[in-house]
Structure 1
Amino acid sequence: MVKNLFYLFLVLVGTTFYQGKNISEKTKLDYFCDLLAPANVTVTSITHTAATVSWANDPNTSDYILRFRPVGNFPWSSPTVPANQNFYNFNGLMSCTAYEVQVAKFCNNVPGTWSTVVVFNTKLNYCTSESVNSGIMHLSNVTVTPSSTGLSQMISNSLTSLYTDYRPDATRKVYLTWGSANNTISATKTGAVNPNAAFVTVWIDFNANGTFEASEIIMNSTSSSAAVSTNTFSVPSLASVGGNISCAVTMRVIFSNTAVTNGCGTFGYGEVEDYDVYLSTESNLAVSEVNKNREISIYPNPSSDILNISGISIDIEFEIYNAAGQKLSEGKTKNKTVNVAHLVKGVYFIVLKEKENSRFKFIKK
């Protein structure tokens, strides 16, 4: 009898210990799997169409959710984040667009608190370059003259500097046309010690990859007795951002006492200047037309199937291009809408053909 009671006691103790262990582990899991907002949300590797968002990993929380959208009154997009992954790669973003993104934990099938909104702009980050001394020689003028009718000349007069970023300056924008020839650029060399023999090298990042390549050099002036270096150049017919008038690539001008091969780094004497270059498919697109406020608009953007066109009274002709400038489709709007369901995910441009063509970029999600 005593033996049986002792055996029963051991069974009960073991059951209690086992159940206590289960309860303890479950309580521990619930306690450590919290719903606090993830920390250190950052966006890196930003290009015209891609970016990577990452956040501090919580070893007790294997699942996360995120949402992003263009800044403004747009619907959120919520892609799936793989388990045990504290980053996500965005692709197919609209170039030169401000986006906002938030991340949250997903704990026991319950969404947690969203992180603080992080805003990033899809643009290219270029290498740095500057001189050590610009007092002896510098650029006093850079002028770009488009060959296309209706595009204005860009004239940039300047004083001495090691490096100047003129891209934020609305008065120093360069406008060029796809496939155009006989555009001209000139650079005026100024200095106390015969700067005419120095080098003037100019790149335009036509393929929008963030690198100044040898094939993108539009002027390479070496020793010359002239104070002004001048050259003519062409714009590739399939420049990467052609047709996207709201997005610019960079033109880098380097005036240096030694040859600079890749547009990057530091050199002895001279100056570096950066400019925004906007590329268009229309040869008669005046600068004033670039920034004017059109009444026509499209929505929603991003879109999964239907684009609505507002600001038109009747159905009109349209054309759709991909980011490389290739025409994919054309037709006529139906009830002031365009069906884009057949397009794969990515960035596109739609041209609405009225008295004055209107071009809009949109993303197919």
Structure 2
Amino acid sequence: MNKIILTLTALLISLILKAQLTSAAPYCTPVYPSNTTYNMIQDFKIGGALIQNFGVMGSYGNVITTFKYFNTTTLPTLAKGSDYSFTLDFYSVNDSEPIYFAVWIDFNKNNVFETSEIVMQNNNTINTELPTFGGAVTPVIKTITIPTTATQGATRMRIMRASNDVSIHANYSSTYVLSSCSSTNIGAMGCMYDFNVTIGPALSISEFEKEELKLYPNPVGQSLFIDNKYSNEISNVFIFNQLGQKIKLNCSDFTHGIDVSELTEGIYFAQINFENQLASKTIKFVKK
């Protein structure tokens, strides 16, 4: 009898876990009507964490598995008012679709992914369609800022790659915005994944001073230096503008500073990558 009870308990737990992974409740559960949908996301990085358990392209080949809720995956806590580097790596599909993507974070915790909560998409990142028909794949990188008005605590993030659900074979439009829920177009394709993410309080001045990685001087005129107290060595530094466009790559001796004299005045972001290739940190600086 005990063995039967244990077996039934294990079965019940497995069913509950499965339900947690395939249901987005209390958010809308996106399911695309086409049975030709498949996984098209390779991995993503945020706040130095690498998430890469989506599987190979095409591993999800039916309607049931077009959505997954990775409810046991832990993402870094995102502090209000802070900037984070977000990198998405996609697969190049053997089709003309889907060519759009978007990332939402439910900052106000109202269980709805609103257009104003899109932190990353085609038209605010690269302004080009995603690779299709075996085209070259380029990582999509953007520095996102967590609003100071965001509600603290656990909330949800959604990543989607999908086709235009109005006309799936329409030419790419840099102004088209994906819906965060299912498409009603019978031929539309997409894959969608949810993650738990925690919004933390803004870093205080004392906490900032304890940071083991700093840029100075800031604002900067000629040379930007890195104060690195981490044990890992820096491999390279990417400089991005406010549109998320990579405008400078530095692979030289960082002890002599990064020459930013050619940059125009404004706000920029330095993505600092370490030798282990699994960690990075993004810091905002001002060019004067």
Specify the TM-score bucket, using the shorter chain as the normaliser.
Answer: 0.3 to 0.5
Answer with 1 or 2: which has the greater Rg: 1
- Greater relative contact order (Cα 8 A, min sep 6): structure 1 or 2? 2
TM-score (norm 2): 0.35
- Give the TM-score normalised by structure 1: 0.29
